Structure 1
Amino acid sequence: MSKYYLFQDTHKCIGCHACEVQCKTHKSLPVGPRLCQVLTVGPKLIGDLPKASYIFMPCFHCENPWCVAACPTGAMQKREKDGIVFVDNNLCVGCKTCISACPWGAPQWNPELGKVVKCDYCMDRIDRGLKPACVTICTTGCLHFGKAEETTQIRRERHARHVAALDQE
């Protein structure tokens, strides 16, 4: 499991896709590959009003990543120090085996490079003590990133505030 955790407060997300755009800009990606995706659920009628929800889907940096196990060249790797799963472009031959192996669709095909790319939590930024590009641009502050124990506390506090607000009604 990754030492880091990236999660979304779905109650705050407005589906603006700024996170996707910032990710593509930071990684210099062409049209096509999306290393994080905002999926729209709905709209559904809640009461008499239509409501849509937006789900942020990055790579989950699995404990036992299928993409790493499937890669025949060792290009798909997991960093031992923090569990971040990434692609070593020098080793990737573009066979797309990792794409087929991942049940979440995290590895994506980059037609310009003829290689696979995926969310690596912006390792270059993490290594400099910064947050991933998608988190820094989030206009509503719905994306949270940090060490697993820190983000667990944030989620607990958010849930407690939500429950307290319900009690006020």
Structure 2
Amino acid sequence: MKKVLYIELENCIGCRSCLAGCTQCGGHEQRNRNYVIDVNPFVDRQTMPMMCLHCENPPCARSCPVQAIQVHETGAVLSAMTEKCLGCQNCTIACPYGIPKFDVEQNLMYKCDLCIDRTKDGIPPMCASVCPTNTLQWVTEEELAVKKSQFRLSNGMMASMEDPYLENKTNVHVSLPGILEGKEKLF
């Protein structure tokens, strides 16, 4: 049964548990591979988790001249392979979401790999495992379909990473209706 990462942005309280969990995931070298952004810090406390959206046709991988960025069979877009990465930073420039980061000391790109050591075995990624508000959820495709039917915008378009204004279809899905329509969610 395939599972996907689903993000309900309006649930985020800015606790940054996802960041702490990310550093504890195997193979992450105690490094955050996702971020929490303060949306409008001088007006309110709205925060938003940002991690790789794992594009189905990833611009970061397409731009890599040595194919150091691979797409796992599960759909996860992996960090650059140490033995192949040239340090050209094409991937960081190509990503429309600004996700891949470049470590100058290691001459290597790193980013969220959806905790591939866990998710390939059906275990939720660390960020979703530790999120206290269910902002980050590891759901089945059936559960995702139910969520999509619940969160329809008034114009009929689903606010997800299948949005026509975004780069391409992604394997991470994001719910934006509360934010886009200015509605508060009732838990």
Alignment of 1:14-163 (within 5 A): 14-26=13-25, 27-30=28-31, 34-43=32-41, 51-79=44-72, 81-87=73-79, 88-157=81-150
- The residue type paired with residue 20 of structure 2 is V
Residues 49-92 of structure 1 deviation map (CA, whole Å, 9 limit, x = unaligned) = x643222211111122111111011111112x322111333322
**How many residue pairs align between the two structures?**
152
Deviation at residue 129 of structure 1 after TM alignment = 2.0
Counting helix residues as a fraction of each chain, which structure ranks higher? 1
TM-score (norm 2): 0.69
Of 110-119 and 128-137, more deviation after overlay is shown by: 110-119
In structure 2, the residue matched to 1:11 is: 10
Relative to 1, partners in 2 of residues 1:152 and 1:5: Cα closer, same or farther, differing over 3 Å? same
Counting strand residues as a fraction of each chain, which structure ranks higher? 1
How many Å separate the matches in 2 of 1:12 and 1:100?
30
TM-score (norm 1): 0.75
How many Å separate the matches in 1 of 2:74 and 2:21?
23
**Rg comparison, structure with higher value:** 1
Deviation at residue 40 of structure 1 after TM alignment = 1.4
How many Å separate the matches in 2 of 1:137 and 1:107?
23
Identity of aligned residues (%): 32
How many Å separate the matches in 1 of 2:8 and 2:57?
26
- The residue type paired with residue 36 of structure 1 is N
**RMSD between superposed Cα atoms in Å:** 2.8
